[in-house]
A and B are shown apart, each in its own frame.
Chain A
Amino acid sequence: MYSDMDIEAAIRPFGRFADGISPAGEAALVARARTGDHHAFEILIRRYKDRVLNLARRIVGDADAAQDVAQETFIKAYQKLRRFRGKSRFSTWLYRIAVNEARAYLRAQRRRRARWDKQKALEASKPAHVEPSERAGRLLELLDELPEQQRIALALFYLQELSVSEIAQLVGAPDGTVKAWLSRGRERLRKWARERGLL
């Protein structure tokens, strides 16, 4: 189904899984976790915790909030695991839960905080020169300014594990629409980053 190039591209950003578990091994772990095996589920958490945390961070924009979203994602995954039929990859299924949890967090956040408040904070924290180590963090803050669907598509894109079709399936939009979100989103980010001296 996937070519060697796809697989290489998929594992590039995070490297190979350090746990040495094969795809068949992962399927076995999922099957054991479905029967209530806590140890198997813990291994799956360790395998995906960084990916889920970073996906959540790129959507919600805040590292602390991302921890809460990641925690809630794994709890929901455990609760729903008995309904996982293996029609998609476990990772795609897990990322869908993470995206839904991040969306729920954003909805709650919108109720708590007015939009202008955040804008004001961003404006105030705009320095003339930004240290290289801070640039990536500031870029992630800019991600937060994109429309929600573009931001979610970009967060999944920057995981560098999913094809456009998988992202499209995950967010429930046609492939062409997702490609347009990704291109427009990245172009906007580039422009904003230029304006703020981050590129």
Chain B
Amino acid sequence: MKCQQAREQLADYSAGFMDAGPRERLQRHLAACRSCRSHLAQLRELDSLVSGERLAADEALVQRIMAQVREQETVRQLRRRYLVQGVAPIVLMLTLAAAVLVVIQPQAAAWAQALSAARVDWDLLAQPEWALVSVAGLCLMAALATWVTGRLARALTPDGASL
């Protein structure tokens, strides 16, 4: 084996990448060639120096990472809570409205006929007392929806997530 050929194989050899046959041929050459042994020693020294040069991560790095992890987790929890609190009441109200429409609409004509036959005084509904009752009813519904979704949001997010 020539030195040129041996040197092309030394990096593979020192990393343990060679099959038995070529490895033994190279080992025979190395036993007889001081120059190639020196080349191999340089590769091993290089490996030892590079793998041996190590930094130790300090405690501050761990603390920085954990602070960022906690911050991200809090933001994620708050986002989920606000999503539930903000979107859920709207969905609940729309569902209620849809249900009311579905129930009332088919019978609306019959009810209108019955009401007109009963000669209801529609002007009564325009009076302030009736308007107050309507607004109070709506407020009650909104409060109920908010309370239900608030409970839901708290159940979905662990304690301690706050700004």
Q: Chain B interface: which size bin?
A: 20 to 34
Say if the beta carbon of B112 comes within 8 Å of chain A.
no
Main secondary structure of the interface of B (DSSP, over half): helix
Task: Given A182-B11, A186-B15, A190-B46, decide whether A38 and B53 contact each other with a Cβ distance below 8 A.
Answer: no
* 8 Å CB contact of B57 from A58, A70, A154: A70
* 8 Å CB contact of A186 from B43, B53, B57, B72: B43
16 new A-B contacts, CB < 8 A, other than A187-B43, A189-B46, are A38-B73, A46-B62, A49-B57, A49-B62, A53-B57, A54-B55, A66-B55, A74-B69, A75-B69, A140-B50, A179-B12, A183-B11, A187-B11, A190-B39, A193-B46, A199-B42
Are A199 and B61 in contact (CB-based, < 8 A)? Answer: no
Are A135 and B17 in contact (CB-based, < 8 A)? Answer: no
Are A139 and B49 in contact (CB-based, < 8 A)? Answer: yes
- In the bound complex, what is the Cα–Cα distance between A189 and B12 (angstroms)? 14
Say if the beta carbon of A112 comes within 8 Å of chain B.
no
A residues bordering B, Cβ < 8 Å?
Answer: 13-14, 36, 38, 41-42, 45-46, 49-50, 52-54, 57-58, 63, 66-67, 70-71, 74-75, 78-79, 135-137, 139-140, 143, 154, 157-160, 164, 179, 182-184, 186-187, 189-190, 193-194, 199
Main secondary structure of the interface of A (DSSP, over half): helix
Chain A nearest CB from B19 CB (Å) reads 12
Complex interface residues of chain B between 36 and 59 (CB less than 8 A to chain A):
39, 42-43, 45-47, 49-57
Say if the beta carbon of B66 comes within 8 Å of chain A.
yes
Q: For residue B55, which residues in chain A have a CB less than 8 angstroms away from its CB?
A: 50, 53-54, 57, 63, 66
